[in-house]
Structure formats: C-alpha cells, structure tokens
C-alpha cells in the first residue's frame, strides 16, 4: 500500500520522470526534502524500478525487431512457474516476462537486431529448455500506442483558444 | 430597405457581446500562442463513454427520448446526486436531462422570472448569467465578492441586495472565474438569510467534482431546509470531460421542474440521445470504479494549480488560493494596467493568452483569469513567460 502523497509523486514521475524534486514538492504541496525521502524510500522498496524514456524506435533508422512469444511450460514441484521463468528472463534478449492466465503460461518479450536472430533464439535457446513444452512467436510490426502515449496523431489540442 | 435595427428585439440585441468572444477573435489570429484562456478540460472524453454512444447508434437508438431524458439516465443521476452529494431526487419527476448546464440556467430563469423581477448573482461571475437574466425579462442585481473574502458570497452582501422584487439568486460555486468555493458553514450563513423569504436558489454546481484540499463540495440543497427552494444544475462537461457533448441536468422540486420541462419540451424536445447514452456510461463507470477517472483528473489539476498559484505569487502578482474549478484569478493591479491592456500586451509580447477579468463583471477588473486545464509543460512555459513579461515592465 502507498499513501496519497506517494501516489501523487508516482503520477508526476510517470508523466515526466525528469521533474525536479523541488518542482514535485510544489506540485504535491510538500517540501523538497520530504519528496526526496519518499522517492528514495520507494526506490528502496522497488516500487520505482528505473527511469527510462519512452522511445518510438520506428522513427529511428536502425534495425530493431521485437517479438512476443507465448510459452507453454510444465510448472515444477515446489517452484511453480518461478524457476522456469527465471531460466527465461536471465537471457539478455528477453526484455519482459509475464505469467499469464489463459491459453498459455508465460508471455516473453524479446528484442534483437533481425528477425533471424530472434527466430534462432527461440529455436535454440527457448524451445530447448527443459519444461518448455511449446512456443508461438509473434513479431511486432507496428506500435500504435506505447505506455499510454498514442504514437502518431491524436495528441493535438484542438480546443477553442479562448472559451467561457 | 429593411431596418433590422427596428425589427429585432431590443432587449436581446442590446445585450453586449461576451468579453470572452472579443478576446477569442484576437487570440485566434495568433497560431502559436499558449492559451490559458480555455474554459474546458484538456482531457478528452474517456473512450469508454464515446464507445457507449457509438454502440447506441449501432443499436439504432437514434430517436427522441422522453422530454425528461432516458429514465435509466435520470435514475443514474438521482443515484449520483444522492451518493455523491447527499441530496435526494425522484428520477421520475425531479430530474431533467438538459443540453449542458447552460440550458438549465436558461430554463430555470425563464421558469421563474416575471418582467421586473430581480435576480441576484455574484460579481465577478460566469459570463452567461447576466444575459440570461436579461433574456428572461428580469434585472440582474450583483452581489460583490472579493479576493479578501476568497471570492465567497457573504451573508452581508446578500442581505443588502434583497428587495421585495428579488425572485432568485444564482449561486455558482465552485466558481468560474475565481476558483472560489463555499464551505458548509458559508452556505449555512447564506441559508440563514434566505429562510423566511420566498427566494429561489439556482445553484450552478457544474464544478462540484473539482475541489482541492480537505474540503469536498457541499450541495446547497443538502443544507437543512434549502431543498425546497433550490434548483441544482450540474452536468458532464467538467468532471467527465464531455464539454462538446452538451450534457447537463437540472434537479429540483417537481412543481418547479414541471415549468422548466414545459420550456424544454417546446424548445428542445429532448437532449441528444447518443449523448445521453454516453452520460449514462460515465455515471455507471464512475460508480463501478469509485470515480477513479474523476479523481485522477482532480489530482492532475491540483498539481497544476499549485504551480500556477506559486508562480503568480513569486512574480509579485497576488493570487488567492483557488480551491475549486480550474482557474486562478490573480490580481494584476500592481502593474498599473487594466485587465484588457494586460492581457493584450502579454499576448503580443509573450504569446500567452489569458482572459481579462472585466469579462466576468465590473469587479473582475484588476484581475485576469488563468485556466490550468492545459498540459503541465505548457503551463510551466507560460508561467515563465508571464514572469518575464511582468519583470520587464
């Protein structure tokens, strides 16, 4: 559980992680020292994990391929899904791993330079793991919305400039 | 040649155009200005509400509804008023769905005012009340409010304005343009003055959800003994980010609503049907998620509000702390300029649009209205520019 004060800080950081602590203090009606302490505490508790920028890689001319892999596994006694998940998330190619409800068990997001590189990773590393029963690989073709931001259009302020 | 000047109704034609409209024309010519002059949320309507309206169209719900509005929506409104503000209305005869709260103001005034009646309204205040009173044939008597009293309506000002001709008072809190709010104690004091009179209260509570700090909104009809004399106006524009949908509602005693619906049925027939479905979804979603969408918007406004108020006070323009709506109303008297001149020069020099306070009544002079319903980074940049403008004077 977090306090309303902490939630308000998180909302500021989610919209702009660069916001200076004195500015956050002003926005949430607190002092810089209290904000700095609260952020340090949330980092300590791993509520705030890191501060990445949201980047639209489609606009960058470099090879970057992303794929989403549905993985069906056999959970292990005493370990559940955690041990096999760890065997998967240790790979650098893997950017995210989620345990899912529904038709498959783990959703694995992987990133690489080329489709071939990712295909080989799935064939040679992922599918060959003990307890991995099957995989289905889906390559990402285009991103429309990322971290709550619509990437193309849709963000313009089209209100009247002055209204009552 | 037709002499149109002699043909049109003088009472209407002589009402001056809104001061906001004049300024809008100036700002519209400047394409890259940052506008803090906008009186509507910068959030777009949550898609879920839009989707409900689209689905209603697909279902073929493209016909008139009851004059009063869809009964499901009226039930949801009655439920909302009860659980959110503690005021009880019968959805079958005490709740009317209107085309924005603006239509509600017009209906209430026309249902009440006889020629020569006086209607009280605070000054400064929202631009539509005085024209609305004139359109209905009444006379507006203004109730002075000031920054020293946090732009609250005082019982003294009210008592001084009441005459035998007083028919109604418009009570618009949280207030546009000042951001002033009325606490329960403030409203009790107003109620004390009204008890024993026949004065009706038109309580425009369109900003009811947008309050900051410990106090949440108190609906005037919830003050003991006031329900019988109060028409409560509210709507979906501000709290649910639905301005363009034009969805509002009026609640009050059946005998008053019966007269209001008479005007509504002959002039409007009913509020747009697709909008009613969107509004219904907004209330249902709110009830489901404990108004999480509203709460998140309020937290965002609150953070911007602090930035704006702090910036004005830092630059030496005294700004009382607004506790409602999404406007700050700083005083610009220390610059020696009047509000029109200040806004015009600020726009020319720094490309920041604000609204001159005199657009909201004589007592708005010496102030500007600054809306913080704009993206935070734009607000920060605009406040920096205003600060530069003031320091370069």
Say if residues B150 and B101 touch (Cβ distance below 8 Å): no
Measured between alpha carbons, how far is B183 from B321 in angstroms, rounded to an integer? 15
pLDDT of residue A77: 86
Cβ-based neighbour number of residue B142 at 10 Å: 18
Say if residues B167 and B115 touch (Cβ distance below 8 Å): no
Q: Does B383 contact A at CB distance below 8 Å?
A: no
Residue B139, φ and ψ in degrees, nearest 5: -120, 135
pLDDT digits (tens, 9 = 90+) for B288-301: 999 998 999 999 99
**Tokens 């904000």 sit at which residue?**
A35
pLDDT of residue A53: 93
pLDDT of residue A17: 95
Contact B37 A163 (CB under 8 A): yes
Interface ipTM: 0.79
Does residue A154 surpass a pLDDT of 80?
A: no
DSSP secondary structure code for residue B219 in this structure: -
pTM: 0.91
Measured between alpha carbons, how far is B262 from B149 in angstroms, rounded to an integer? 39
Two tokens, residue A65: 């391929």
Confidence category of residue A153, pLDDT binned at 50, 70, 90: confident
Two tokens, residue A80: 């559940």
Two tokens, residue B310: 């702090």
Measured between alpha carbons, how far is A82 from A79 in angstroms, rounded to an integer? 6
Min Cα distance A14 → chain B (Å) is 12
Architecture of domain A57-143: 2-Layer Sandwich (3.30)
pLDDT digits (tens, 9 = 90+) for B65-103: 999 999 999 999 999 999 999 999 999 999 999 999 999
A161 interaction partners in chain B (CB closer than 8 Å)? 24, 27-28, 33, 35, 37-38, 353
Cβ-based neighbour number of residue B164 at 10 Å: 5
Averaged pLDDT, A106-113: 94
For strands B166-171 and B139-144, give the pairing: unpaired
For strands B166-171 and B200-204, give the pairing: parallel
Q: Give the burial string for B8-39 (b: 16+ CB within 10 Å, else e).
A: eeeeeeeeeeebbeebbebbeeeeebbbbbbb
Q: Does B299 contact A at CB distance below 8 Å?
A: yes
B127 interaction partners in chain A (CB closer than 8 Å)? 164
B299 interaction partners in chain A (CB closer than 8 Å)? 7-8, 11
Q: Does B375 contact A at CB distance below 8 Å?
A: yes
pLDDT tens-digit profile, chain B (393 residues):
899 999 999 999 999 988 888 788 888 888 789 999 999 999 999 999 999 999 999 999 999 999 999 999 999 999 999 999 999 999 999 999 999 999 999 999 999 999 999 999 999 999 999 999 999 999 999 999 999 999 999 999 999 999 999 999 999 999 999 999 999 999 999 999 999 999 999 999 999 999 998 889 999 999 999 999 999 999 999 999 999 999 999 999 999 999 999 999 999 999 999 999 999 999 999 999 999 989 999 999 999 999 999 999 999 999 999 999 999 999 999 999 999 999 999 999 999 999 999 999 999 999 999 999 999 999 999 999 999 999 999
Of residues B368, B363, B320, B319, the one with CA closest to residue B342: B368
Q: Which of residues 340-369 of B touch A (CB under 8 A)?
A: 353, 355
For strands B368-371 and B327-328, give the pairing: antiparallel
The residue ranking higher by pLDDT, B190 or A55, is: B190
Of residues B122, B16, B63, the one with CA closest to residue B276: B63
Q: Helix or strand or coil: residue B360?
A: helix
pLDDT of residue A155: 66
> Domain boundaries in chain A?
4-44, 57-143
Two tokens, residue A12: 């500021």
Residue A69, φ and ψ in degrees, nearest 5: -120, 125
Say if residues A140 and A95 touch (Cβ distance below 8 Å): no
How many alpha carbons fall within 13 Å on the CB side of residue A88? 31
Q: Does B159 contact A at CB distance below 8 Å?
A: no
Measured between alpha carbons, how far is B273 from B53 in angstroms, rounded to an integer? 9
Sheet holding B200-204, edge to edge: B95-98, B248-251, B230-235, B200-204, B166-171, B118-123, B139-144
Sign of CA dihedral B136, B141, B145, B146: positive
* End-to-end Cα, chain A, rounded Å: 41
Measured between alpha carbons, how far is B121 from B113 in angstroms, rounded to an integer? 14
Residue A40, φ and ψ in degrees, nearest 5: -60, -40
pLDDT of residue B28: 84
Interface test with A, best of B31, B290, B303 (most A CBs within 10 A): B303
Contact A164 B310 (CB under 8 A): no
Does residue A162 surpass a pLDDT of 70?
A: yes
Give me the domains of chain B, ranges plus CATH numbers. 4-45+292-391 (3.90.1150.10), 47-288 (3.40.640.10)
């Amino acid at each position: 559980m977090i306090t309303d004060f902490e939630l308000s800080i998180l909302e500021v950081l989610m919209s702009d992680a660069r916001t200076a602590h004195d500015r956050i203090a002003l926005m949430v009606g607190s002092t810089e020292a209290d904000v700095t302490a609260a952020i340090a505490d949330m980092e300590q508790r791993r509520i705030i994990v890191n501060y990445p920028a949201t980047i639209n890689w489609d606009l960058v001319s470099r090879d970057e391929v992303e794929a989403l892999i549905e993985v069906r596994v056999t959970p292990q006694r005493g370990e559940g899904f955690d041990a096999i998940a760890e065997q998967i998330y240790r790979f650098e190619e893997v950017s995210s791993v989620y345990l899912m409800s529904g038709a498959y068990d783990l959703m694995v997001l992987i990133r690489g330079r080329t489709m071939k590189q990712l295909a080989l990773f799935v064939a040679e590393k992922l599918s060959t793991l003990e307890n991995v029963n099957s995989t289905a690989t889906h390559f990402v073709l285009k991103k429309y919305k990322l971290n709550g931001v619509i990437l193309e259009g849709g963000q313009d302020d089209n209100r009247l400039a002055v209204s009552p | 040649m037709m002499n149109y000047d002699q043909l049109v109704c003088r009472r209407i034609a002589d009402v001056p155009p809104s001061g906001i409209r004049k300024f809008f024309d100036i700002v519209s010519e400047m394409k890259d200005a940052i506008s803090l002059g906008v009186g509507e949320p910068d959030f777009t309507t949550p898609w879920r509400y839009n989707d409900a309206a689209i689905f209603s169209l697909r279902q073929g719900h493209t016909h008139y509804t009851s004059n009063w509005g869809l009964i499901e929506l009226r039930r949801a409104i009655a439920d909302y008023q009860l659980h959110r503000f503690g005021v009880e209305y019968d959805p079958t005869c005490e709740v009317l769905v209107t085309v924005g709260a603006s239509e509600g103001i017009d209906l209430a005034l026309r249902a009440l005012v006889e020629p020569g009646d006086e209607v009280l309204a605070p000054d400064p205040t929202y631009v539509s009340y005085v024209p609305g009173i004139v359109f209905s044939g009444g006379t507006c008597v203004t109730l002075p409010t000031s920054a020293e009293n946090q732009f609250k309506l005082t019982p003294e000002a009210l008592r001084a304005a009441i005459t035998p001709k007083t028919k109604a008072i418009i009570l618009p809190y949280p207030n546009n343009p000042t951001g002033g709010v009325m606490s329960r104690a403030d409203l009790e004091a107003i109620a004390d003055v009204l008890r024993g009179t026949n004065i009706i209260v038109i309580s425009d509570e369109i900003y009811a959800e947008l309050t900051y700090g410990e106090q949440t909104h108190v609906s005037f009809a919830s003050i003991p003994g006031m329900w019988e004399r109060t028409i409560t106006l509210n709507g979906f524009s501000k709290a649910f980010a639905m301005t363009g949908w034009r969805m509002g509602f009026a609640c009050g005693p059946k005998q008053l609503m019966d007269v209001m619906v008479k005007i509504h049925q002959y002039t409007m027939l009913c509020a747009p049907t697709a909008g009613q479905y969107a509004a219904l979804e907004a209330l249902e979603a709110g009830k489901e998620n404990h108004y999480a969408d509203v709460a998140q918007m309020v937290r965002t406004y609150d953070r911007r509000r602090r930035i704006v108020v702090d910036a004005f006070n830092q630059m030496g323009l005294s700004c009382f702390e607004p506790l409602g709506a999404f406007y700050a109303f700083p005083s610009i008297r220390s610059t020696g300029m009047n509000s029109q001149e200040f806004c015009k020069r600020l726009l020319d020099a720094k490309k920041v649009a604000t609204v001159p306070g005199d657009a909201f009544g004589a007592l708005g002079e010496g102030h500007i209205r600054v809306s913080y319903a704009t993206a935070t980074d734009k607000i920060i940049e605009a406040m920096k520019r205003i600060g530069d403008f003031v320091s370069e004077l």
